[in-house]
Amino acid sequence: MKKRRTKTALLWLISVLVPLMQPGQPVEAAGMQGILLGQGAYEEATDDWEIMLERLDAAIANGKGENVNFSAGNRFTVPEGILEKMSGKNATLGLHTSNGVTFSVSGMDVTAADGPINMEVIFDAEIPEDAVSRIQGYPIVKQFRMAEQENYPCRVNVHMALGEENAGKHAILYSYNEAGGNLQQEGSFRITNDGYAMFGLNRGDEYIVITMDGYTAQPGDTFSGIAVRHGVSLQKLQEANPQITDIDRIGIGQQVNIPKSGV
């Protein structure tokens, strides 16, 4: 296990890593105050590292789940020392990039800071057409990949502005499995009325997000009945919902992804 760095070593680490931050890149999506960070609009984000640290210290001391927003650009590092500072604390660091995407780290998700979070986000995808063919017919609303495809020391949440026109639909996040040459569903999220969605990431990868219709299970619903009601085969419904491992147990209020009948 790595030894805890001294305060002097931490200051040196920050002085080395801060130049990786590229603040001031514009966030292209409007209405960032609606992003799923609980509180704190993008307009409150600072591009000054020292101010961010002061606000983070205050939020940690406050202990009420306050968000500290930093305009990080598309290439940034969260040093191990910052994660150690946040570990187990009720405070969140929001890292605003461009293209309507924000990453966040909650101190409640940090249990052991055994390394920094290094991230360079590129807003396109290099996923082969054969793999993407699986989701043909569905609108692709976001594509992004990380230059460093490595595991993170804690969960990193990604918040995306997908547009109010998609409110109520399900955002489906896929990663590209290079070894298998296919897409793997990582999760789904019902898009808010303001047009935002959020997912938890454990690693850097190539990601693609589509929208799909959704349904909330009601009393008396069965998986096969939902399939019949929406005119899709049971197999297609199962393929669209890998998160439902037991189709004989559909809970009231459970979110079900509804694929297109002709896809």
pLDDT 10s digits, 127-173: 999 999 989 899 999 999 999 899 999 999 999 999 999 999 999 99
What does 204-259 look like in DSSP terms, one character per residue?
--EEEEEEEEEEE--TT--HHHHHHHTT--HHHHHHH-TT---TT---TT-EEEE-
Does the pLDDT of residue 225 top 80, yes or no?
A: yes
Condensed to tens digits (0 to 9), the pLDDT of residues 227-262 reads 999 999 999 999 999 999 999 989 999 999 999 986
Round to whole Å and give the CA distance between 20 and 61: 27
Condensed to tens digits (0 to 9), the pLDDT of residues 183-216 reads 999 999 999 999 999 999 999 999 999 999 999 9
Q: What is the mean pLDDT of the chain?
A: 83
101 contacts 28 by C-beta, under 8 angstroms: no
Mean pLDDT of 3-15: 36
Residue with tokens 């297109």, as numbered in its chain? 260
Does the pLDDT of residue 114 top 90, yes or no?
A: no
| pTM of the shown model | 0.81
Round to whole Å and give the CA distance between 248 and 18: 52
**pLDDT score for 43:** 61
**Interior CA angle at 85 toward 84 and 87, to 5°?**
60
* Helix intervals (H) in 63-213: 80-86, 129-132
Distance from the Cα of residue 61 to its chain's centroid:
26
Buried b (16+ CB within 10 A) or exposed e, 206-236: bbbbbbbebbebeeebebeebbeebebeeeb
Task: Tell the burial category of 133 from Cβ atoms under 10 Å away from its Cβ (0-12, 13-18, 19+).
Answer: exposed
